[in-house]
Structure 1
Amino acid sequence: MLRSKSFVKRTRKGNVVKVVKEHYLRDDIPCSSPICKSCTHTPVLSEEPKATSGFPAHYIIPDTNVFISQLDIMEHPAIKDVIVLQTVREEVRHLSLPVYNRLNAILADKTKRFYLFANEHQRDTFIEKLKDETPNDRNDRAIRVAAKWYKDHLKANGSGREIDILLLTDDRGNREKATATGIRNSGVPGYVESIKDVPELLDMVSAPKAASEEKTVYEEHLTPAQIKNGIKKGTLIQSSFNVSQHNVHEATVVGEVEGEMKTIYILGRQNFNRCIQGDIVAVELLPKSQWKRSASVAIEDEDDEKLYGEEEAEDLKDDPMTDEEAEPTGKVVGIIRKKWRPYCGFIVKNTAPSQGESKGPTNVIFRAIDRRIPPIKIRTSQASTLLGNRIVVAIDSWPVNSGIPLGHFVKVLGSSGDRETETEVLLLEHDVPYQEFSKRVLEDLPVEGDQWVVLDKHVKDEDRRDFRDLNVCSIDPPGCTDIDDALHVRTLPNGNYEIGVHIADVTYFVKYGMPMDTEAAARGTSVYLVDKRIDMLPSLLGTNLCSLRSNVDRLAFSCIWEMNEDAEIVDVKFTKSIIRSKFSFTYEEAQTRIDDERMQDDVTKGIRVLNKFAKILRQRRMDAGALTLSSPEVRFRLENDSQDPVDVEMKGLKETNALVEEFMLLANISVAKTIYAKFPSSAMLRRHAPPPTNNFDQLRKTLAEKGFTLETDSSKALADSLDRAVLPDDPYFNNLVRIMTTRCMMQAQYFCSGTEAESDFLHYGLASPIYTHFTSPIRRYADIIVHRLLQACIESDLAYGHELTDMTKMKELCDNLNFRNRMAQQASRSSVELFTGIYFRNKTEVEEGRVLRVLKNGIIVLVPKYGVESIVYTTSKGSTSSPFVYDDDDKSLTAGDIKLKTFDSVKVQISVEGDELGMRQTMKMKLVEPFVEGVSVSDKKRAIEEVEDDCQPKKSKQ
C-alpha cells in the first residue's frame, strides 16, 4: 500500500518547490514470535518468555523514555524478549546519539532477544497525526496502537498459547490510556520490583528528582537561547570545564579576556553550579574585585559534612593584591553539553547501614576514583555487600535543590586492590574500548592468516616499487612488536643521498567501510599500559602482517627524499612499496653500532649517515623555534609470573631516539603539505595552538627570582629562554624548568583543514606551519586516513568517495580521535600510577625531590627517580595551625629560618596509604629534610634507617 503526502516549501534562493513524500505500508512485516502461525520469519523472540511476580509470561514494549532514562536496566542480562518499536528507536536517535548507539548494540546482541518492529511501515500499526496533536502525543499513541496490535495478533494467531504484551512506561497519562484500551502496563520501578530473582535491578532504577520543597542550593542555569545570545555578544565564554587535580574546589576554563586567550578560574562548588569535569559550559566573568588573588590550596576530597553545597573554597577570601596580579575568575551559568558517563568508585563506608540494620533500600554516598567528580547520592539495598568493591554508578540528575548529583548503581567490577579489577577500572574511567574484537571484525582479516605472504602480483598489479634489495632497518624500543616504520639511506650517482622512510601499509588490509575499519575508527588509537597493550587493530595485523619485522617481505608506503650534504631536500616522492628489513634494532643496539668504530658494514655506515643528517635537521628545527620539552617518564621491570613491579627506572634517551624522531617529523611535514595541496578543505592535519599568555605567569615570576627571563612572545623566544635557564651547580634544574613549561602548554589536536584559517595550522611546539600524522598507522587511526588521502594524491586514477571529501564527517572524526588520544594518554599515566602504588605497597623509601609548586597548605614535590609527584602537606587534616607561614609576595612557605620555594630540593619519605578498606590507595609524601617540628617525619634519622633496613633484604635477595 502506497501513501503519498505533498507540500510546498520555499528554498533558500526564494524558489517555491513541491515536495512529494511516499510512504509504503505493508502487511507482511513479521511479529517475530515463534508462537505465531501466520508470520513467515526466523523468530527473534522466545517461545517461553519470562513471567514475573504479578506479570504472566510476556513480551515487553518500552516507550522512548525507558531507553533514555533507564538504559542500564534494559542492558541488564535479566531483561530479554523486548519489542523495540521503530517509533521509539527514531525518537531515541533524535534525543540522544550515545543512547541510540547503545540501543543498536543491544539489538545486535542475539542473546538479548530484542526485536526491532517497523510499526511505522506496518499497515495496521501506522497512524496519522491528528489535528492539534503534538508529535510527542502522536508517538505515544503509536506505541499504544502497536502494543494493542501485538496483543490481538498473538491472541488470534498463537494457537491457544498465552503470551501477554506489557507496555513499559513511567508516564502516568500513557499508562492510564493504555489501561483504558486493555493493554497491560507498568512503570519501571514496579516492573523491576516484580523480578524477584534479580534484586540488584532495583538499585539500577534511575534516581527520582529532588522534592520541589527542598531548599535551593544552586542558581538556575540560563536557557539555551540566553546562552547562545551571550556567547554571540561576547558576554559569556564557552569552554571545556577542567577541575584541578590538587583542589576539587578549583577549576579552569580557557577563553578570551580583554582581547587575549587566558586561563579563567572557577572557585568553589557554588560557582561550579552543578557542572562536572569535562562538561562544555557557559561561563560569565566575575567583577575584577572578585578575581583570584592568591595561591591555591590543596583539597583532595570533600568532607562528608560539606556534601550539600554549603562549603566555600578558601581561595575566595580577598587578599591585598594589585589587579595586575589577579587571575581572571568566573562562574558557570549554564551547561552547553553534559559529558556525564558511568563512573567507577566505591561506597563511603560511614554512609552505609551497619551489619544487621534494615536491608531495605537506603541512601548512600558514592565516591568516584577520579577525585574531580563530586560525590553522588544513590539508593541501594545492597550497601553492606557492595562495601569493599569497585562499582559503577551513573548520574541521573542534579537539581538546584540537591547539593550533590543523584544517581543509580550500574554494576560491580570486583574487589578493591585486585590488579585486574583496578586495570579494568582505569580503562572504564578513560572510556577505553577494551573488548575482544568481534567475529565480524576478525572476518575481515586475510583468509590465509599468518601464512599470508607478499606475492609478485603486489608489484605488478599495484604499481609498487621493490625496495627489497636496500639496507632497510627499523629502530624501536626493546620488546616492540608493532613496528610501524623503517629507514634506509644510499648514496646517489650525483653525490646526493636518497633517504627513505617506510611506513607499514595498513590500508592494504583495512579498507574504508569494512567492520574492521569502523572498529579502528571508534577505538582511534592503541593504548599502552604498563603490563599490556590494548590494540587498535587485531594482532594478526598489528604484530605480524603489517609489522615491518626483519627478514620478511612487507608492504609499505614510502616517503623518499633526495638530499644534499647539508640535509637540504632536493626532491621528495611518495610510493607504495615492498621492503625487506635487514635488521630490527633496539635504540641501544643502534647506538652501539654508531659508537663502535670497528663496525664498518654498510648498514652501520648508513645509520651513521642518518644520525648526521638527523642532527642537522634537529638543529634547523631548533633554530626555527621548535621546543624541547620534558616529562618524567619511568619504566617498570615486571616479575615474569606475577607481573608485579620489582624495579623502576627513569627512561633514558639516546641519539638514536632523536634519529628516528627527526625523520618521522620530516615525513609527517612532507605528507601534510602534499595532502593539503590536493584536499584544501578536508585534509586531516594536526595543530598545536600557542598557550594562553597567563599560563606562564607563575613560572615567569619564579624564574625571575633565579635571574632568568622567560620570553613567551613566540616559540622561538620561549625555546631560547629555556636554553638559557641553566644553573651550573644544579644539573637537573633545566630539565625541571622544561617539565614545568610542558604543563603550561595546550594539547595538540587533529583538525579538518577546511575548518581553520591557514594561519592557525601552526604546530607551536614543532615550529612547523603545517603538520600531520602519517608514520604510525598500526596504532593511530589518523594515520590511516592520511594514508588514504596521500594515496589519492599520488594515484590519479584512484576512485575515492565522500570519506575523503566530506568536511563535516572529517571534523566529527577528528573530534573523536582527539578524545580517544587524550583518554589513551591519561589511561597510560593511570597505569603507571597503579603500578607505582603496587611497587610502594608495604614499602617506605626516602628520596630527593624537587618542589614544583607552593600552595597555601603544602608543596607539590616531584621525585625524579620514580617520576612520581604528590602533595606534602604543611597542615595536618582538620587542623588550621601550621609551623609554616605562607608569604603571598614571595610565593613561599616559611618556618623559622627554613623557607620552601619552587625549584628547591627536599627529601621526602614516600609510601602508599589508603583508608581502612583500601578503597583509595594514595601516594603519600612526608617531609624529611629540611626538618620542621610538627610537619616532618618525627624522627628523621630513624625514618631513614628504617627505609634502609626495609631495602636491605630485597637487595641481597636480588
Structure 2
Amino acid sequence: MLKSRTFVKRTRKGNVIKVIKEHYLRDDIWCSVEGCEKCKQEKIHLSCNPRKTKLSEFPQLIIPDTNIFLHQIDIMEHVAFTNVIVLQTVLDEVRGRSLQIYNRIKTLLEEVPKHFYLFSNEHNRHTAIERLKDETMNDRNDRAIRTATLWYNIHLKTHPNGQITVLLISDDKDNRVKAQQEGIKACSMAEYVEQIDDYPELMDMVVYPSEDDTNDKKFTYEEHMTPVQISGGLKAGLLYQGSINISMHNYLEGTIMANIDGEETQILISGRGSLNRAIQGDTVAVKLLPKEEWKTNASKIISNDDEKEEEEEEEKNNEDETMKDGNEKSEEKENEEVSYTEKPIPTGKVVGIIKKHYRQYCGSIDKNTVQKTTNHNATQNILVISMDRRIPKIRIRTRQAEALMGKRIVVAIDSWSKNSLYPFGHFVRDLGDIGDRNTETEVLLLEHDVPYMPFSQQVLNDLPPEGENFTISEEELSKRKDLRDLDICSIDPPGCTDIDDALHVRPLENGNYEVGVHIADVTHFVRPSTAMDREAAKRGTTVYLVDKRIDMLPELLGTNLCSLRSNVDRLAFSCIWELTPDAEIVNVYFTKSVIRSKASLTYEEAQNRNDDKRMNDNITKSIRILNGLAKKLKKKRLDAGALTLASPEVRFNLENDSQDPVDVEMKELKETNALVEEFMLLANISVAKKIHSKYPESSLLRRHPTPPQNNFDVLIAAAESVGVKLNCSSSKELADSLDKAIVPGQPYFNKLIRIMTTRCMMQAVYFSSGTVSEKDFWHYGLATEIYTHFTSPIRRYSDVIVHRLLAAAINYGEGYSTDIIDKIKIQKICDVLNFRHRMAQQASRSSVELFTNLYFKDRVVEEEGFIIRILKNGFIALIPRYGIESIIYSEPNTKNVSKQIFTYDAKENKLVSEYCTFKIFDRITVQISIEETGVGGISSKLSMKLVKPFVPGISVESQNANKMNDEELNEIDDEIRNKIEVIKEEEEAQKTSSEPALKKRKVA
C-alpha cells in the first residue's frame, strides 16, 4: 500500500520546489513474538514467556516511549529488562536528539539474550498514523506510540500460550492518562521496577523527573542564557564558545581555547560561581570579565580533602548575596591560573552550556553523608565522590547506602539546577571493593572510556571459519609477491605476541642494499563495513596496561593469523627500498606479499647477535647492516631538526601467580630499539608520500603542530637559572640546545630537561589531508614534511585505513569503498582515533599509577627527586628511580604551625621561606608511602613528604632530618640484640614448661 503527499519548500537559494513524499505501508511486518500463529515471521525476537509483575495478571511485554530511552537508558541496559519492543517512532526520535543513546539502543537490538525487537510501526498498515491538523509533532509521536501499544494488546489477546499484555512505560503523566483512557495499561519507570523483586538495585537506577527536595537553598548559581541569547551573543562577538577543561590540581578552575582578536587564546574560568555548573568536557558559552579582573597568579592546588573548607566559605558568602556576588568577593582565595606567567590572561565566566558532556562516572560514597538507620532499605540522599578529580560530587538517591560503603560504584549525572550545590544523578552499578586490583583496573578502563567487553558473536563470525587451521589459498598466493626465500626477521619487546612488523636486507650487485619492511596484512581479514571492521573502528587502538592488554582485534588475528611469527607463512604488505651505503633512497615500491620470517627476536637477543663477533649467520649479518644504515638514517633526521625527547617510563616485574608488583625498574633502550624505530619511521614517511600523491584530499595523515613559543617560557626561565640556554625558535635549534644542556655534577639533568620539554609539546593528531593546508602537515618532533601510521595495523585502526588507501593507490585487488576518498568521512574517523589514542595513553598511565600504589603498599622509602613545576601552594616532584611524580604542599601539615611557611615569588616562579628556596630543577629527598585519602579514607594515593631540605611544619622526621651518631646507633643495636636474647630464652623455657614462660613474659 502506497501513500504519498505533496508539499513545497524553499531552498537555500530562495527557489521554491515541489516535493513528493512517498510512504509505503505493509501487511507483513510481524509482531515477532514466539508462537504467534497470526504472523508468518521468519525470525523470533520476543519470548512467549515474558516477565509477570503485580501490574497485570498476565505476562508483560513492554514498550518504552522516547523519553524513557533518553533518560533511563542505564536501567534499560540492565539484565532485568528483556522482551522490549522498540518502536520505529521512538528510535527515529532518539536518533534526532542523541546519537550516543541511539547507538546504545542499536547495540541492545543486536544482543540476542536481551530480546529487544525493532517494530516498524510507521510502515505497518495497522499502526501507521498521520499527523492531525494543529497537532504538535510531539503529540503525534505520543499518539503513534499508544496506537502501536494498543495494536499489540489486541494482536496478542488470543496467543496460544495465553493472553500477553503489552505495557507502555512512560514518565509523561499526560501520556499515561491518555493511554489508560484508550484502554492501554501504562505506568512510570519507578512504578514498573517497584514490581521487580529480583533486582532491588533497580530502584536506585531510576532517574526521577524532579530534584526539588534536594536543593541547597543557600547556594544559587546565575541563570543560564537561552539558546537564542547564546547564539546572538556568539554572532555579536560578545561571547566565546569552547570545550571546558578543568584543572587536575584545582577543581574550581577551568579553561577554554577561543579566538580573541584573531589569535587562539586561553580563557581562564575561576571559582564555583564562574564555572556555573559546567562540567569537564561541556561545550560552554563564556563572557569575558573586565581586564582589571584578569588573573596573573600561579595555580593553587585544591583537592577533595579541601572541599569542606571551600564549601563553608561559599555558605558564608551566600548568606546575604547570590553565588555570583559571593564568588566575586572570594575570588582572590580561589586562584587560579593554569601556568606561571607575568602577563594577565583573559578571565571569564560561563553564561550558558551549549552541549553537555555528561557520562557515567566511577566513584565512592562520601560516608559522612550516609545516615545510620535501623531501616537498611530506607531511601537516602547521599553524595558520591568521583574518581575524576575534575568532577564535582554527585548527589544520588539510594536504598543501598550502607551496603555500598567501601565499594567502587558507577553513577550518572541527570541534571543540575541553579539552586543546588551539586548535580543530581543516579546509581548505575557496583564494581567491587575499593583497593581490589581487578576492580580498580575496571575503574580506569571505564574512566577512560576504553571498550573492553569481549568481542560479540557478530564480530567473531567474521573470523576465518578454519580458525587456527587457516591456510593461504593458491589463488591468493598468485596475486602476491612471494618473499618467503628472504632472510626476514622480527625484533620486538620480550613476550610480544602481536608482531606487526619484520625486516630484511640484502646486498645488491651495484653495491647498494635492498631493505624491506614487512607489515602484517590485517586488511585481508578485516573487510570494510563488516562487524569486525566497525568494532575495530570503535576501539581505535589496542590499550596496554601493566598486567594485560585490551585488544583492538580478536586474539585469533592479533596473536596468530596476522602476527608475523617465525617459520610460518604470513600475509604481509611490504615497503621495499633500494638504499645506498649512505642510506640515501634510490627508489621505493610497495606490494602485497607472502613472507616466512626466519627468526622472532627480542631487542636484547638482536643486540647480542649484533655485538657477538663470533656469530656470522645470515640473520646476524642482516642485523649488523640494518643497524649501520639505521644510524645513518637517524643522523639525517637529527640534522634536519628531529627531537630526541624522553619520558620517565618504568617496567614492573610481576609475581607469576598473584600478578602483584614485586620490583620496578626503568625501561632500558638498546641500539636495536633505534634500529627498528628508524625503518618504521622511514616506512611511514614513504607510505604517506605515496597515498598523498594519489589521494591529496582524503589521505589519513599524522601531524605534530609546532608548539607556541609561550609554551616554553617557564622552562626557558628555569634553565637560565642553572646556566643553561634553550633556543626554542625551531625544532633544529631546540634539538641542538638540548644536546648542550648539561650541568656539571648532575648526570640526570639532560634527561630531566628532555622530559620537561616533552610536556611543552602539542599533541600529535591524525587528520584528513583535504582539511588542512599542506604547510600544516609538518611533524615538528620528527622534522618531516609528511607522516602517517602504516606499521602497526594489528593495534591501530589508523594503519588499517592507511593500508586500504595504499592498496587502492597501487591498484591492488578489487578496490575499496568510496569512503576512503571522502575527506569528511576520513576526518570523522580521525576525530574518533585521536580521542581513542588519547584515552589509551591516559589509561596506560593510570595503570602504572595503580601498580605503583600496589608496589608501595606497606612500604615506606626515601628517594631522591627533582622539582619540575612550581605552584602557589606547593610544587610537583619527579622521582627518576620509579618514574613517578606527585604534589608536595608548601603549606603547614600540622595544626601547631598556623602561619604560611612559604611565599610565592611570581616574578621568578619560586617558593621562598626563611629556611630555603624551591625552584624548578632543585634536587630534594622525599619519603614515599601510601596514605588513605578522601572523606573518611575512601581511597588511597601515593604520598610524597619532604625530607631534605628540612623545613619545620612540612618535613617529616627521618634519619636524614635527625641524624644519630654512631654511639647512639650502637646503643640501639645492643638493645635490640638483648631483646632478641630474652625472646630466645623464653622460647627455650616454653619447651620444658609453658606456664612459667608465659608468667615470665607477663612480668617482663
Q: What band does the TM-score fall into relative to the shorter chain?
A: over 0.9
Q: How far did 1:516 drift? A: 1.3
Q: Which residue of 1 aligns with 2:988?
A: none
Task: List aligned pairs for 1:488-503, cutoff 5 A.
Answer: 488-503=504-519
SS in 1 for 2:517: strand
* Aligned partner (choices 572, 592, 609) of residue 576 of structure 1: 592
Which among 516, 525, 531 is matched to residue 515 of structure 1? 531
Cα distance change of structure 1 residues 944 and 144 upon mapping to structure 2, 3 Å threshold: farther
- Alpha-carbon distance in 2 for matches of 1:340, 1:851: 36
Secondary structure of the equivalent of 1:303?
A: helix
Match of 1:115 in 2: 117
For residues 64-112 of structure 1, the C-alpha deviation after alignment (integer angstroms, 9 at most, x for no partner) is: 0000001112112222222211111111111111111111122222222
2:566 pairs, out of 542, 545, 550, with: 550
Residue in 2 that maps onto 1:781: 797
Name the stretch that deviates more: 90-99 or 348-357. Answer: 348-357
- Is the deviation greater in 209-218 or in 595-604? 209-218
Residue 202 of structure 1 corresponds to 203
Correspondence for 1:953: none
Larger Rg: 2
**Letter of the 2:291 counterpart:** K
Q: Name the SS of the counterpart of 2:653 in structure 1.
A: strand
| Partner of residue 133, structure 1 | 135
Kindly provide the CA deviation profile for residues 192-225 of structure 1, in whole angstroms up to 9, marking residues without a partner as x.
2233442211111114444399566323333444
Taking only the aligned residue pairs, the percentage that are identical comes to 59
1:484 matched residue in structure 2 = 500
Comparing 339-348 with 245-254, greater Cα deviation is found at 245-254
Cα distance change on mapping 1:216 and 1:623 into 2, 3 Å: same
Structure 1 Cα separation of the partners of residues 46 and 595 of structure 2? 53
Structure 1 928/751 Cα, relative in aligned 2: closer, same or farther at 3 Å?
A: same
Q: Hey, what's the Cα distance between the residues in 2 that align with 1:618 and 1:283?
A: 47
**What is the letter of the counterpart of residue 920 of structure 1?**
S
Q: 1:675 is aligned with what amino acid?
A: I
Letter in 1 for 2:732: K
The residue number in structure 1 matching 2:103 is 101
SS in 2 for 1:629: coil
Deviations, residues 318-340 of structure 1 (Å, cap 9, x unaligned): 99x99952233333333333222
Say which SS state the counterpart of residue 158 (structure 1) adopts: coil
Tell me the SS of whatever aligns to 2:49.
Answer: coil
**Structure 1 position 138, deviation (Å):** 0.7
What does 1:169-188 correspond to in 2, within 5 Å?
Answer: 169-188=170-189
1:398 alignment partner AA: W
Contact between 2:87 and 2:120, CA under 8 Å: does it hold in 1?
Answer: yes
* Equivalent-residue separation in structure 1 for 2:588 and 2:165 (angstroms): 71
Q: How many residues align?
A: 944
Residues of 2 paired with 1:485 and 1:318: CA distance?
A: 47
Equivalent residue number for residue 20 of structure 1: 20
Per mean C-alpha deviation after superposition, the further-off stretch among 745-754 and 404-413 is 745-754
> Which of 808, 831, 851 is the matching residue for 2:847?
831
User: Structure 1 residue 226: deviation in Å?
Assistant: 4.4
- Counterparts of 1:233-248 in structure 2 under 5 Å? 234-248=237-251
**What CA distance in whole angstroms lies between the structure 2 residues aligned with 1:845 and 1:318?**
33
Equivalent residue number for residue 909 of structure 1: 927
**CA distance, structure 2, for counterparts of residue 210 and residue 84 of structure 1:** 28
Distance 1:524 1:488 in 2: 29
- Residue 527 of structure 1: how far off its partner (Å): 0.6
C-alpha contact (below 8 Å) 1:369/1:920 kept by paired residues: no
- 1:423 match: 441
Q: Counterpart of 2:264?
A: 261
1:290 corresponds, among 285, 290, 293, to 293
Counterpart residue type for residue 198 of structure 1:
Y
Note the C-alpha offset of 1:227.
4.0
CA contact (8 A) 1:46 1:113 kept: yes
Q: Distance in 2 between matches of 1:944 and 1:510?
A: 65
Q: 2:470 aligns with which of 452, 455, 462?
A: 452
Partner residue, 1:559: 575
TM-score (normalizing by structure 1): 0.94
Q: What is the identity, as a one-letter code, of the residue corresponding to 2:33?
A: S
In structure 2, which of residues 60, 63, 71 is the aligned counterpart of residue 61 of structure 1? 63
**1:632/1:240 Cα in 2 relative to 1: closer, same or farther (>3 Å)?**
farther
> Is 1:922 the equivalent of 2:941?
yes
In terms of mean alpha carbon deviation, does 731-740 or 295-304 score higher?
295-304
Distance apart, 1:697 and its partner CA = 2.3
**Are 2:269 and 1:251 equivalent residues in the alignment?**
no
Counterpart for residue 343 of structure 1: 361
Moved more, 822-831 or 696-705: 696-705
Q: Which moved more, 1:799-808 or 1:640-649?
A: 799-808
Residue deviations 1:39-70 (CA, integer Å, cap 9, x gap):
22354333333232344332222110000001
Give 3-state SS (helix, strand or coil) of 2:494's partner.
coil
Contact 1:6-1:21 at 8 Å conserved across structures:
yes
Letter in 2 for 1:179: Q
Displacement of 1:694 in angstroms is 2.7
The corresponding residue for 1:952 is none
SS at match of 1:170: coil
* Contact map agreement 1:209 1:399 (CA 8 A) in 2: no
After superposition, the Cα gap between the structure-2 partners of 1:787 and 1:159, relative to the gap in structure 1 and judged at 3 Å, is closer
> Is 1:407 aligned with 2:390?
no
CA distance in 1 between counterparts of 2:413 and 2:630 reads 52
Work out the CA distance in 2 between the residues paired with 1:908 and 1:264: 35
**d(CA) in 1 for partners of 2:146 and 2:759?**
57
Match of 2:48 in 1: 47
Rounded Cα–Cα distance in structure 1 between residues aligned with 2:31 and 2:855:
58
Deviates further, 915-924 or 618-627: 915-924
Report the AA paired with residue 595 of structure 2: I
Q: Does 1:2 align with 2:2?
A: yes
Could you tell me how far 1:814 is from its partner in structure 2? 1.1
2:307 counterpart of 1:303: yes
Structure 1 vs Structure 2 CA RMSD: 2.6
Q: Among 443, 454, 457, which residue is 2:461 paired with? A: 443
Q: CA deviation at 1:802?
A: 1.9
CA contact (8 A) 1:262 1:695 kept: no
Distance change (3 Å), C-alpha of 1:943 and 1:298: farther
Cα distance in structure 1, aligned partners of 2:335 and 2:846: 34
Q: Does 1:692 align with 2:696?
A: no
- The answer to whether the 8 A contact 1:207-1:378 is kept is no
**Amino acid corresponding to residue 369 of structure 1 in structure 2:** M
Structure 1 residue 12, shift from structure 2 partner:
5.3
Query: Which residue pairs with 1:956 in the alignment?
Result: none
Maintained 8 Å contact 1:366/1:375: yes
- Partner Cα separation in structure 1 for residue 502 and residue 142 of structure 2: 61
- C-alpha contact 1:297 1:314 (8 A) present in aligned 2: no
The CA deviation at 1:17 is 4.5
> Secondary structure of the equivalent of 1:199?
coil
- 1:217 alignment partner, one of 220, 234, 242: 220
User: Equivalent residues in 2 for 1:843-862 (5 A)?
Assistant: 843-862=859-878
Deviates more, 1:271-280 or 1:762-771: 271-280
**Counterpart-to-counterpart distance in 1, 2:921 and 2:91:** 58
After TM superposition, give the deviation of residue 252 of structure 1 in Å: 2.9
3-state SS of the aligned residue for 2:156?
A: helix
Q: CA 1:478 to 1:159, structure 2 compared with 1: closer, same or farther past 3 Å?
A: closer
Instruction: Verify the 8 A CA contact 1:207 1:406 in the aligned structure 2.
Output: no
Question: Counterpart in 2 of 1:640?
Answer: 656
Structure 1: how far apart are the matches of 2:800 and 2:615? Answer: 38
User: 268, 273, 276: which is aligned to 2:276?
Assistant: 273
* 1:893 alignment partner in structure 2: 911
Q: Are the counterparts in 2 of residues 367 and 375 from structure 1 also a CA contact under 8 Å?
A: yes
Give the secondary structure class of the aligned counterpart of 1:921: strand
SS of the aligned residue for 2:595 comes to: strand
Report the TM-score, using the length of structure 2 for normalisation: 0.90
Residue 55 and residue 447 in structure 1: after superposition, are their counterparts in 2 closer, same or farther (change >3 A)? same
Mapped contact 2:687–2:788 kept (Cα < 8 A): yes
Q: CA deviation at 1:877?
A: 5.8
CA distance in 2, matches of 1:388, 1:159: 50
Q: Within 2, Cα distance between the matches of 1:661 and 1:933? A: 49
Unaligned runs of 5+ in 2: 316-326, 974-1004
- The residue aligned with 1:811 is 827
- Counterparts of 1:782-801 in structure 2, within 5 Å, are 782-795=798-811, 798-801=814-817
When residues 943 and 459 of structure 1 are mapped into structure 2, their CA distance, relative to the original with a 3 A threshold, is farther
